[in-house]
């Protein structure tokens, strides 16, 4: 194979919350880089995974869900998504086979039609419904917009995932690999650590605290070589909520819930980093941080 036939570039996935974007990306990249959940709206930051084969390299950017904006945060998220659209070579628009095409999908269809990149409509979760239903859904999806391709897949049952990769790769420009082999994600470590803490804090209380939590990693301290008896990485993190009542929810009765959050987050972080971690977690109320541009900036949005 000559160098000129090698293709490389970027892809992102959009779709309503809970349509299976994270699961699909994990199926494509083969490692858990995005944080999965059975509840909507857990993915907020772009997380990249890199799929490398002999003839191509596909860099997958997991975008936050597109939302019809209600708050400033909602608008920022959408700006982020549009920014992502302008940086990728192909967009995958996910529509789950087990749900009818609805107004939310029509809204996203209009948004993606403005992007310069070709859009591949991906019918996800085909394992969840009958063949007839898949066929019906494919028809509805084909009438929704002008797609470069339509591919039905199941991430969980590994149906047509390879075909989807072929289709996505077809839309990439010719070029050499962008990342060295074996490098799966270029998300900075502290961002992934913050996501694990946020995920642990949201566990079981998502309905009460949908978008109201932000986590900032203040320090990751290596043990002092002279003093330390154990090789433990010390992580100081600040968890922001919007109201005192939310702080109460996170902390729980007598601090019991916060303890659990800390323990669960630490477990995930230790798995991620492959080493022992001491997690120092504090909660602060930052009033209406979602609506305050200054605070949003400070929290990394």
Ligand X SMILES: Nc1nc2c(ncn2[C@@H]2O[C@H](COP(=O)(O)OP(=O)(O)OP(=O)(O)O)[C@@H](O)[C@H]2O)c(=O)[nH]1
Ligand-binding site membership of 104 (annotated): no
Q: Does 160 bind ligand X (CB under 6 A)?
A: no
Smallest distance from the beta carbon of 125 to ligand X, in angstroms? 4
Smallest distance from the beta carbon of 207 to ligand X, in angstroms? 14
Burial class, 130, CB count within 10 angstroms (exposed 0-12 / middle 13-18 / buried 19+): exposed
Stretch that binds ligand X, among 11-19, 175-183, 229-237, 281-289 (CB under 6 A): 11-19
Q: Does 18 bind ligand X (CB under 6 A)?
A: yes
What strands, in cross-sheet order, belong to the sheet with 232-241? Answer: 214-221, 232-241, 276-285
3-class secondary-structure state, position 121: strand
Q: What are the helix and strand counts (H, E) for the chain?
A: 9, 9
Q: Does 120 bind ligand X (CB under 6 A)?
A: no
- Please work out the total of residues on this chain that contact ligand X, with binding judged by CB under 6 A: 23
Among 8, 57, 84, 155, binds ligand X (CB under 6 A): 155
Among 36, 72, 191, 232, binds ligand X (CB under 6 A): 36
**Tokens standing for residue 37:** 């959940």
Among 8, 10, 12, 23, binds ligand X (CB under 6 A): 23
Q: Does 205 bind ligand X (CB under 6 A)?
A: no
Smallest distance from the beta carbon of 178 to ligand X, in angstroms? 24
Among 7, 12, 14, 21, binds ligand X (CB under 6 A): 21
Q: Does 125 bind ligand X (CB under 6 A)?
A: yes
Among 72, 80, 156, 273, binds ligand X (CB under 6 A): 156
H-only helix segments in the chain: 21-29, 72-87, 103-113, 131-142, 161-170, 189-202, 244-251, 256-273, 293-298
Which DSSP string corresponds to 206-271?
Answer: TTTSSS--EEEEEEEEPPPTTT-SS-EEEEEEEEEESSHHHHHHHH-GGGHHHHHHHHHHHHHHHH
3-class secondary-structure state, position 51: strand
Q: Does 99 bind ligand X (CB under 6 A)?
A: no
Which of residues 40 and 252 has its CB atom nearest to ligand X in the complex? Answer: 40
Applying CB under 6 A, the residues found at the interface with ligand X are 15, 17-23, 36-38, 40-43, 65, 124-125, 127-128, 154-156
């Amino acid at each position: 194979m000559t160098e000129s036939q090698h293709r490389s570039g970027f892809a992102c996935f959009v779709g309503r919350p809970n349509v299976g974007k994270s699961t699909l990306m994990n199926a494509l990249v083969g490692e858990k880089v995005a944080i999965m959940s059975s509840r909507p709206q857990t993915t907020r930051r772009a997380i990249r995974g890199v799929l490398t084969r002999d003839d191509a390299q596909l860099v997958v950017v997991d975008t936050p869900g597109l939302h019809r904006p209600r708050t400033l945060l909602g608008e920022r998220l959408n700006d982020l998504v549009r920014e992502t659209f302008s940086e990728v070579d192909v967009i995958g628009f996910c529509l789950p086979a087990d749900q009818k095409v609805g107004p939310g999908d029509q809204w996203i269809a209009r948004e993606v039609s403005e992007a310069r990149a070709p859009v591949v409509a991906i019918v996800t979760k085909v394992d969840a419904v009958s063949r007839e239903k898949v066929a019906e859904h494919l028809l509805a999806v084909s009438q929704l917009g002008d797609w470069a391709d339509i591919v039905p897949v199941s991430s969980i049952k590994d149906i047509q995932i390879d075909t989807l990769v072929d289709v996505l790769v077809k839309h990439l420009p010719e070029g050499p690999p962008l990342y060295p082999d074996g490098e799966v994600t270029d998300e900075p470590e502290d961002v992934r650590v913050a996501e694990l803490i946020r995920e642990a804090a949201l566990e079981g209380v998502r309905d009460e605290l949908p978008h109201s939590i932000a986590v900032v990693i203040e320090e990751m301290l290596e043990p002092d070589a002279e003093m330390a008896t154990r090789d433990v990485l010390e992580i100081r993190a600040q968890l922001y909520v919007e109201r005192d009542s939310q702080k109460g929810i996170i902390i729980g009765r007598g601090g019991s819930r916060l303890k659990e959050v800390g323990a669960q987050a630490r477990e995930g972080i230790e798995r991620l980093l492959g080493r022992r971690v001491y997690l120092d977690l504090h909660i602060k109320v930052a009033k209406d941080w979602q609506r305050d541009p200054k605070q949003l900036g400070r929290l990394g949005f």
